[in-house]
Amino acid sequence: MDMVHIKINNIPLTVPKDYTILKAAREAGIEIPTLCYLKEINEIGACRICMVEVKGARSLVASCVYPVNEGMEVFTNTPKVRESRKTTLELILSTHNKKCLSCIRNGTCELQKLCIDYGVEDENRFMGTNITSAIDATAAHMIRDNSKCVLCRRCVAACRANQDVGVIGPNERGFNTHIGCAFDLDLNQVACVSCGQCITVCPTGALAEKDNTEEVWAAINDPTKHVLVQTAPSVRVTLGEAFGMPVGTDVEGKMVAAIRRLGVDGVFDTDFAADFTIMEEANEFVERVKNGGVLPMITSCSPGWVKYCEHYFPEFLPNLSTCKSPQQMFGALAKTWYAEKNNLDPKDIVVVAVMPCTAKKFEIGRDDQAAAGVPDVDIAITTRELSRMINRAGLRFTDLPDEEFDSPLGTSTGASVIFGATGGVMEAALRTAVETLTGEELQKVEFEDVRGTDGIKKATYNVAGMEVKVAVASGLSNARKVLEMVRSGEETFHFIEFMACPGGCVNGGGQPQQPASVRNFVDLKALRAKALYQNDTNKPVRKSHENPVLKEIYAEYFGEPGSHKAHEVLHTHYVARGKYSI
């Protein structure tokens, strides 16, 4: 690797010649602030916050895009640099909605932090005409308030580069520039897949999930309602970040304790339903292989991916597994088997899902998601919303004891907890499918070829004398690549796992927001996934088909995986949607 010798703030450094000043400074322990920069997808030098002095240059330069060169001398903290950043912030504030106290990002807003860091005291130094912008709350999952937008274009990059959707972008020009959909259509009029990746990268409160916590509080305070809360696999390894804990901390026990103290009637684990997903999905895969069914079979756990398929690749809908997602399966089980066991009217049960995913808010309203004649799941909230509920309840999260999920819907296996990481659904399904096809016990349950945070992974396994070719992709731009390989005949697979969000649910649109200073330089996906795999390793039971409560329910209620009753309760269908409509 070719290296160059530079100085930053008079400190000699040797760095690769393809580095930018921003990256070189970071490795030297110097934080250069940014607003627009997102590593690899939004390196556009637009916000001008990252300006630095370079000896010999006529003006300040944008460090996020300016390459290093031999002998360069850089200064990141001169009076000229600080004044430039402060003035830029004041100009941004001149058109910014400054109702910070009531903003959902108060305390976590990157613009707010920069203003504090650079001593912006007169937020009205530059006064002028502001653009009038309507709030778009038409989508099921989010709210867009352009009065808080700083035109960083991070959301545009996430939507287009990572997700291959591109339903938002800059409209008009000059002072009238604003982010929106084509022709200024509302979000519910375009092919948005509700993934929420735009929300996770927004530095301000311009984008936020729809907050449904008041509905949860109302249900908890209604004596006629039986409130059950289910938590998704990945939430246990991300929730701690909202309370200042290190990335990748597994807080399962404290999470359960906190939810119990909110006053609900049961704290259960979506992992329990994920084990059912594997039983039904593995059975469906085996049936397709044996009987010449549609292959490759594609997983259906990620509602963002499912909606993407419905909009952009409807010809692949017959390939999707008919299994409901674990969230929906849990609700269906709660309002059928659990309701019967406890003499409860399904109408009186309120199922609350705590999810890493904003698309879950859309999913609960889909057709064919009402096994008991009422919606399987009533309310879906994100990890962020749960953290706000915990704070509002006055709970000192880090001081809470570790407690266990309630039974029986809290009993799960290691196979189900890894659903939260890309490749986890595939690995869990393989653990069961291989033993089903071979009739032999696996000596090693780890399928490491499908692990890791790479956007696309492929593997071939010899199972019962047959070569089974699988693929795993996360991020919808990678899903497109795999589907195009299949469509062109370039690749042949038997089983494919798709997750809408890059890295899987651990990087979902409803997870705790991390500033660019962390997101650009810390592998959030890998650290969070590592905690899930450790949780799996620690479980006494690591294969879905060995879950004792699951076996009991099949024996007394469903009969067997894929039975008529199982299809009525645990399966669904999909619909082709136009690319420019919901």
Of 430, 371, 351, residue with least CA distance to 558: 371
Evaluated on CA atoms 559, 562, 563, 569, the torsion sign reads positive
- Residue 582's pLDDT is what? 42
Of 45, 113, 52, 58, residue with least CA distance to 78: 52
> What are φ and ψ of residue 14, in 5° steps?
-120, 120
> What are φ and ψ of residue 22, in 5° steps?
-60, -45
Q: How far apart are CA 213 and CA 195, in angstroms?
A: 19
Q: Tell me which residue has tokens 């266990």.
A: 404
- Name the token pair of 275: 């084990």
* pTM for this prediction: 0.96
Q: How far apart are CA 60 and CA 426, in angstroms?
A: 50
- Residue 269's pLDDT is what? 98
Taking CA atoms, 371 is separated from 41, 51, 219, 292, in Å, by 42, 57, 21, 29
- Name the token pair of 514: 């991390």
Range(s) of the chain covered by CATH 3.10.20.740: 3-77
Range(s) of the chain covered by CATH 3.40.50.1780: 222-570
Strand segments (E) across 135-262: 135-136, 142-145, 169-171, 178-180, 207-209, 226-231
Q: Give the DSSP per-residue string, 104-135.
A: TTTTT-HHHHHHHHTT---TTSS--------E
- Residue 290, Cβ density class (10 Å: 0-12 exposed, 13-18 middle, ≥19 buried): exposed
Contact 22, 32 (CB under 8 A): yes
Distance, CA of 138 to chain centre? 21
The dihedral over CA atoms of 228, 233, 236, 241, expressed in degrees to the nearest 10, equals: -120
- Beta 266-269 vs 297-298: how paired, if at all? unpaired
Strand segments (E) across 319-443: 349-355, 379-382
Contact 572, 368 (CB under 8 A): yes
- Residue 580's pLDDT is what? 57
- Give 293-302 pLDDT, tens digit per residue: 999 999 999 9
Q: How far apart are CA 507 and CA 358, in angstroms?
A: 11
Contact 377, 351 (CB under 8 A): yes
Q: How far apart are CA 397 and CA 399, in angstroms?
A: 5
The CATH number corresponding to 93-209 among 3.30.70.20, 3.30.70.1450, 3.40.309.10, 3.40.50.620 equals 3.30.70.20
Is the CATH number 3.40.50.1780 carried by domain 222-570?
Answer: yes
Q: Which DSSP letter does residue 320 get? A: B
Helix intervals (H) in 202-241: 213-220
The length of the chain is: 582
With vertex at residue 499, the alpha carbon angle to CA 377 and CA 158, rounded to the nearest 5 degrees, is: 105
Q: In the CATH scheme, what is the code of domain 3-77?
A: 3.10.20.740
* Strand arrangement of the beta sheet that strand 379-382 belongs to: 266-269, 226-231, 349-355, 379-382
- Residue 298's pLDDT is what? 98
Task: Tell me the sheet residues that pair with 179.
Answer: 170
CA atoms lying within 13 Å on the CB side of residue 394: 0
Q: How far apart are CA 216 and CA 320, in angstroms?
A: 32
Q: Which residues, in sequence order, are CB contacts of 46 under 8 Å at separation 6+?
A: 36, 151, 152, 153
The conformational region for residue 263 under phi > 0 = left, psi -120 to 50 = alpha, else beta, is left
Taking CA atoms, 451 is separated from 249, 445, 497, in Å, by 19, 13, 12
Contact 248, 531 (CB under 8 A): yes
Task: Tell me the sheet residues that pair with 75.
Answer: 53
Residue spans of the chain under pLDDT 50: 581-582
- Residue 117, Cβ density class (10 Å: 0-12 exposed, 13-18 middle, ≥19 buried): middle
Range(s) of the chain covered by CATH 3.30.70.20: 93-209
